[in-house]
């Protein structure tokens, strides 16, 4: 039995759930998300809780059971409270600046690096070396943060680059001096 798939999802008061045969639509104060359903998975709302069940017991059905429950739980959390990832820039002269829908970063290259913010994502730059990515879709928030981090991932010798807040970077020793 799927340990994740059998857990019911509690629906907050400000969230509305609409279930059809092909999809689940969740609407809240922050926005609206939709997830397509497999024909092998059934979803029902009972007593302000969403219950996900599967038709069969083969490997694909078991995998879809947990996946569907996790996706719906993320949608409910996203439309009610949203998701957030924080990035920090470590390095001399590294800084970020937000102008409209464009993030401009100085990363030690000969040119500034520009990133156009996708729809559904909001960026904040509380300090010149910190970037906050916010949105209602967990996958989009994570992908936007990974794209920004991908411009200059942290390097292992000095630890310079863009990293998630709290990320541990394994450091390597430099060259040893010859005697």
Q: What is the pLDDT, as a whole number, of residue 177?
A: 75
Is the alpha carbon torsion for 142, 3, 65, 26 positive or negative?
Answer: negative
Q: Please state, in angstroms and as integers, the Cα–Cα distance from residue 160 to each residue in 89, 128, 148, 152, following that order.
A: 8, 15, 15, 8
Q: Does domain 83-164 have CATH number 3.90.930.12?
A: yes
CATH topology for 9-80?
Answer: Outer Surface Protein A; domain 3 (3.90.930)
Q: What region does 93 belong to: left with phi over 0, alpha with psi -120 to 50, or beta?
A: left
pLDDT digit string (tens) for 152-161? Answer: 999 999 989 9
Rounded to whole angstroms, the Cα distance separating 68 from 74 reads 10
Q: Domain segments of the chain: what residues?
A: 9-80, 83-164
pLDDT digit string (tens) for 72-123? Answer: 999 999 999 999 999 999 999 999 999 999 999 999 999 999 999 999 999 9
Rounded to whole angstroms, the Cα distance separating 137 from 151 reads 22
The pTM (predicted TM-score) of the whole model is 0.88
pLDDT digit string (tens) for 24-64? Answer: 999 999 999 999 999 999 999 998 999 999 988 899 988 89
**Do 9-80 and 83-164 share a fold?**
yes
């Amino acid at each position: 039995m799927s340990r994740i798939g059998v857990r019911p999802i509690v629906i907050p008061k400000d969230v509305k759930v609409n279930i059809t045969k092909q999809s689940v639509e969740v609407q809240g104060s922050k926005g609206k998300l939709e997830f397509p359903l497999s024909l092998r998975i059934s979803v029902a709302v009972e007593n302000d809780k969403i219950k996900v069940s599967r038709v069969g017991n083969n490997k694909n059905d078991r995998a879809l059971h947990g996946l569907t429950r996790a996706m719906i739980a993320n949608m409910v959390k996203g439309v009610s409270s949203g998701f957030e990832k924080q990035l920090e820039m470590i390095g001399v002269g590294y800084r970020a600046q937000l102008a409209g829908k464009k993030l401009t970063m100085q990363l030690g290259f000969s040119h500034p690096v520009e990133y156009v913010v996708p729809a559904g994502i909001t960026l904040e730059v509380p300090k010149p070396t910190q970037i906050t990515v916010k949105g209602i879709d967990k996958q989009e928030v994570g992908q936007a943060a990974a794209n920004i981090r991908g411009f200059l991932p942290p390097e292992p010798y000095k630890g310079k680059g863009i990293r998630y807040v709290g990320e541990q970077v394994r450091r390597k020793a430099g060259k040893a001096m010859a005697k």
